[in-house]
Amino acid sequence: MRVAGAVVVIAVLEGGSGIGLARRFSAAGAAGMLIADQRPGVAEDLATELDRPGCPVVGVSGDARQPSDVAALVATAAKHLGPIDLFCVAGPDGERILPLAELPDHLDPLAELLAQIGDAISEVIPRQRGVHISH
C-alpha cells in the first residue's frame, strides 16, 4: 500500500481513535487527509495539530455508519484535497484501510465504497452479544 502522495480519509467510529493512524499517515508522506469523528471538535482539533504544507488536513464531524455522511466525507475530501486514495475506518477494536484503487471501474464508486465501509466497520466494531432473558 502506497501512502506517500496519497489522499486519505480516516473515519473514526465511537470508541475508536484516529490519532495514531493520522500521525502515521502524516509521517509516511500523505498528500492530504480528511479526518471524521463522531465526537464534535475532536477531528477538527487533530486536523489543526497535523496540518502542514504539503499535507493539508481537514477535520469534520461525521458518522461513517450513515451513507449520507460517507457521501459528504467523500465530497468534502474531493473538494479540498482531490481524489481519495485510501479510506480508513478506526474503531474500538482496530483499524481497516481500504485502497480505493481496488474498486472495480464498472461499478458506482460510492455504492462500492459504502459496501466496503460496511464490511470494514463490521471488522472493527466489537461483536454484540445477544441478551438472553430467563423466565
Ordered by where they begin, the domains of the chain are: 7-95 (3.40.50.720)
Residue 93 pLDDT:
85
pTM of the model: 0.83
C-alpha to C-alpha distance for 82 and 107, rounded to whole angstroms: 20
Confidence (pLDDT) at 65: 87
Give rounded-to-5 percent helix, strand, coil for the chain: 40, 25, 40
Write down the pLDDT at residue 8: 95
pLDDT (0 to 100) of residue 103: 62
Position 42 scores a pLDDT of 94
Distance CA 77, CA 51 (A): 14
Q: Is 133 helix (H, G, I), strand (E, B) or coil?
A: coil
Can you give the pLDDT of all 135 residues of the chain as single tens digits? 689 999 999 999 989 999 999 999 999 999 999 999 999 999 999 999 999 999 999 999 999 888 889 889 889 999 999 989 999 999 988 898 988 777 666 556 677 777 778 877 877 766 544 443 443
